[in-house]
């Protein structure tokens, strides 16, 4: 039971008791009853005011709680929105990071490919150590390719094209380690074309620039062959004899000895006119 209802019940009980009291005590009881009723009214009013204040306080508290809950909910919603925004930004940053990682990998791969391409290009022009015709020297890759291509043309039997290729080579690379060999094969290409005079000139150029070259003995033998083609047997004999003297241990010297043995004996030179017999002068 609420306090307000208890007071009302007590007032009703007091009134009932007064109704049943004697007459001489009626006046006294009325005053007491009024005071009691007034007191009760005051207490009821005070209780009502307190109840209203309590209700107002509760309503205010409820309002504040409701408002705070609303604010808290709004704050939660704002915080959730911020979290979602941060998640989106983080996802975007991750995407950018992945993209930058891929771009960096692509750039590194491109840089590596470019460095390899530059290295390959430089390697095409950097001198390399080669061995050719019994000699070892440094040569540019392009220089070696030009010599190999000319030699392949000669070995195919295309002497005209080989002559052109070797002639171009000796002019383009006068200081090349391939130069003496190029002169040798140029002379052989000219010999194959029956250009004996041109061949002799290139064989002699080889002997003059590189007398110790492995092809030098063969060049001397080739000069003798050209001289025989030109029917200049005395010159061929002298060339073969020079070959045997200059390169006695070479295979070309062995071939020169065999050819010297097959050559006709040299004819004695006619005696000078001042040394002829007197009877001949009289005739």
Helix count and strand count (H, E) for the chain: 10, 2
Query: How far apart are alpha carbons 223 and 191 in whole angstroms?
Result: 10
The pLDDT, as a whole number, for residue 280 is: 43
What distance in Å separates the CA atoms of residue 163 and residue 75, rounded to the nearest whole number? 96
pLDDT at 277: 47
Q: What is the DSSP string of 140-155?
A: -HHHHHHHHHHHHHHH
Distance, in Å, from the CA atom of 177 to the CA atom of 180, rounded to the nearest integer, reads 7
204 in Cβ contact with 238 (< 8 Å): no
**Angle, alpha carbons 151-154-159 (nearest 5°):** 145
> What CA–CA distance (Å, rounded) separates 184 from 206?
7
pLDDT at 204: 98
Q: What is this structure's pTM? A: 0.55
The hierarchical CATH code for the domain 133-262 is 1.25.40.10
Cα 66 to the center of its chain, rounded Å: 67
What is the distance between the alpha carbons of residues 117 and 107, in angstroms, rounded to a whole number?
A: 15
Nearest to 128 by CA among 116, 137, 115: 137
What is the rounded (10 degree) CA torsion for 59, 63, 68, 72? 120
Rounded to 5 degrees, what are φ and ψ at 267?
A: -75, 140
Give the start-to-end residue ranges of the domains of the chain. 3-87, 133-262
132 forms beta bridges with 135
Please say whether the beta carbons of 214 and 135 come within 8 A: yes
Q: Which residues pair with 200 in a beta bridge?
A: none
Question: H helices within 126-250, ranges in order?
Answer: 141-155, 159-172, 179-192, 196-209, 216-229, 233-246
Q: Which one-letter DSSP state was computed for residue 250?
A: S
Collapsing DSSP states into helix, strand and coil, what is residue 136? strand
Per-residue pLDDT at 214? 95
Task: Provide the pLDDT for residue 50.
Answer: 79
201 contacts 195 by C-beta, under 8 angstroms: no
pLDDT (0 to 100) of residue 184: 97
Mean pLDDT per 10-residue section of the chain, whose length is 283 residues = 59 57 60 76 77 79 79 82 87 86 85 66 71 88 95 97 97 95 97 96 97 96 96 96 96 96 77 50 38
C-alpha to C-alpha distance for 236 and 207, rounded to whole angstroms? 16
């Amino acid at each position: 039971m609420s306090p307000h209802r208890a007071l009302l019940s007590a007032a009703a009980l007091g009134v009932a008791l007064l109704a049943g009291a004697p007459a001489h005590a009626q006046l006294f009881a009325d005053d007491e009853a009024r005071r009691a009723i007034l007191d009760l009214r005051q207490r009821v009013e005070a209780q009502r005011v307190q109840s209203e204040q309590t209700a107002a306080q509760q309503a205010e508290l409820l309002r504040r709680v409701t408002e705070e809950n609303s604010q808290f909910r709004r704050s939660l919603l704002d915080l959730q929105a911020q979290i979602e925004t941060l998640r989106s930004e983080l996802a975007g940053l991750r995407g950018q990071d992945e993209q930058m990682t891929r771009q960096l990998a692509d750039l590194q791969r491109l840089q590596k490919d470019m460095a390899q391409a530059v290295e390959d290009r430089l390697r095409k022009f950097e001198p390399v150590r080669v061995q050719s015709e019994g000699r070892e020297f440094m040569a540019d890759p392009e220089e070696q390719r030009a010599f190999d291509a000319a030699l392949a043309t000669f070995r195919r039997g295309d002497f005209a094209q080989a002559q052109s290729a070797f002639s171009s080579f000796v002019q383009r690379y006068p200081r090349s380690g391939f130069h003496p060999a190029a002169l040798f094969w140029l002379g052989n290409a000219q010999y194959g074309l029956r250009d004996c005079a041109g061949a002799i000139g290139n064989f002699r150029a080889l002997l003059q620039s590189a007398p110790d070259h492995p092809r030098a003995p063969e060049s001397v033998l080739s000069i003798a062959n050209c001289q025989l083609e030109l029917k200049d047997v005395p010159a061929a004999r002298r060339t073969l004899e020079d070959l045997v003297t200059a390169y006695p241990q070479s295979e070309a010297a062995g071939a020169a000895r065999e050819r010297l043995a097959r050559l006709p004996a040299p004819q004695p030179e006619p005696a000078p006119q001042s040394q002829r017999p007197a009877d001949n002068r009289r005739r």
